[in-house]
Amino acid sequence: MTDAAILSVPQAESLFRRNLRDFRRNRLAMASLIVILVFVVMAVAAPLIAPQDPNETDLLRRLQPPGWAPGGDWAYALGCDGLGRDILSRIIYGARISIFIGLAVIFLATGVGILAGLAAGYFRGWVDVVISRVVDILLGFPYLIFAIGLMAMMGPGLMNIVLALAYKEWVIPCRVVRGETLAVRELEYVEAARALGAGPRHIMWREILPNILSPVIVISTIRMANVIILEASLSFLGLGVQPPTASWGSMVSDGRAFILEAWWVSTFPGIAILLLVLAINVASQGLRDAFDPRFSE
């Protein structure tokens, strides 16, 4: 350390900000973050940047190849699907579905998971027994089959997909929160807060929650990639968003019939799924490296 560094007045820097700085140093993670941002901008500004109306069919352009291939047209850069709709525009609109569902499911699941996990870990006793058994039971179900079953019961629709996925997704943050709560509630500063007259609500929200937030944020971002794949899977199976609304999963599914003659119909939405999921995974690894003390140097 240089003299200047020793002499400088210590600046208030929270652990959170220090972690954020670690994250910014990680180039791969920053690149992934940019990819994610590009998708987010695509989703938000879809009507402004989509070259065509995503739902406008044109039978004359049926299975038209991408712009660079013979017979292609750059106005329809990634080609057209079986109904002559512009694939690029549909991918841009499809980002809305994937990102919205990913965020909505994760927010809902993390919120419920934090509440349930805090209650289980803090109150112990029968509260813990009930919540933990429910978690165990839900973990025993195969995720996709569980979601398919729920979709079959509730019927298709955007909100129903969110609910169907969140129904099971909350157990992941719940288990993390419960485990961390069990560890943190025994710490000296929680006892000190009790000695100063803090009640259960204060202890859960102010003493425990801020100290276990890092692993929860990390696990939530990792799970978001998973939720996006699940949504694509449901749409692929025809249980997701209903046509004509563009969803990456259903676009891949639509192209199956022509995969030999028109590879672009399935391939491009597939690449979109791959890119977004990969970017989220790499970014969440970076988050974990920065936020989880076990991975920081």
Partner 1 sequence: MSVLLEVTNLRTEFATRAGLVRAVDGVSLRVARGECLGVVGESGSGKSVTFSSVMGLVRSPGRVAAGTIHFDGRDLRGLAPEEMRAIRGRDIAMTMQDALTALNPALTVGEQMAEVMIAHDDTLPSARGARRSAIRDRSVEMLGLVGIPAPETRLRQYPHEFSGGMRQRIMIAIALTCRPQLLIADEPTTALDVTIQAQVLELISDIRARLGMSVVLITHDLGVVAEHCDRVMVMYAGQVVEEGPTDQVIGAPRHPYTRGLLASIPRPALRGQPIRPIVGQVPDLVGLPPQCRFHSRCPLARQGCLVQVPMLPAGPGRQARCLRLEETS
- Residues found near partner 1 in the complex (CB under 8 A): 9-10, 12-15, 187-189, 191-199, 202, 206-207, 210-211, 213
CB of 178 to partner 1, least distance (A): 18
- Smaller CB separation from partner 1, 69 or 187: 187
- Smaller CB separation from partner 1, 70 or 199: 199
Handedness of CA 57, 63, 65, 70 (dihedral sign): negative
CB of 17 to partner 1, least distance (A): 10
- Smaller CB separation from partner 1, 9 or 60: 9
- Smaller CB separation from partner 1, 134 or 193: 193
CB of 133 to partner 1, least distance (A): 21
Place of tokens 């007259």: 197
CB of 194 to partner 1, least distance (A): 6
- Smaller CB separation from partner 1, 3 or 13: 13
Among 167, 192, 181, CA closest to 119: 181
- What sections of 26-86 are H helices per DSSP? 27-44, 46-49
DSSP 109: H
Among 212, 269, 219, 228, CA closest to 105: 228
Structure tokens at 61: 């352009």
Instruction: Give the separation between CA 174 and CA 260, rounded to whole angstroms.
Output: 45
CB of 149 to partner 1, least distance (A): 40
Whether cis (ω within 30° of 0) applies to the bond prior to 244 is yes
Backbone angles phi and psi of 241, in degrees to 5 = -65, 140
- What sections of 50-198 are H helices per DSSP? 87-123, 125-140, 143-154, 158-169, 171-184, 188-195
- Smaller CB separation from partner 1, 27 or 294: 294
